[in-house]
């Protein structure tokens, strides 16, 4: 499912216009992005937790030259599903 399909699905279920649903979804995504860039965890009950995980710098090799290089540390967004979501995904269909 892509963003457009999600908006259509939400619009149908909420009996609301796609324009209004798109605005709401964009606001949710903006707030999620803002919280993560500020280093906050975002916990959504029954769904899961979004957070940043820092990966330390390390040494590696350049693939072509074989030269030893320093790979800088970086933040990686991650998602940990809530137990309720895990259970729902494991339920037989």
Closest residue by Cα to residue 10 from 18, 2, 28: 18
**Lookup: tokens for 78:** 């991650």
The DSSP code sequence of 34-66 is HHHHTT--EEETTTEEEEEEEEPPEEEE-TTT-
Query: Tens place of pLDDT for every residue, the chain, 93 residues?
Result: 999 999 999 999 999 999 999 999 999 999 999 999 999 999 999 999 999 999 999 999 999 999 999 999 999 999 999 999 999 999 776
């Amino acid at each position: 499912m892509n963003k457009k399909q999600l908006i259509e699905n939400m619009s149908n279920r909420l009996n609301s216009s796609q324009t209004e649903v798109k605005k709401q979804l964009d606001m949710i995504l903006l707030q999620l992005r803002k919280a993560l860039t500020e280093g906050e965890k975002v916990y959504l009950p029954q769904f899961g937790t979004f957070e940043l995980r820092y990966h330390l710098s390390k040494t590696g090799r350049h693939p072509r030259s074989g030269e030893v290089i320093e790979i800088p540390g970086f933040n990686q967004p991650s998602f940990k599903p809530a137990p309720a979501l895990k259970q729902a995904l494991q339920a037989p269909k």
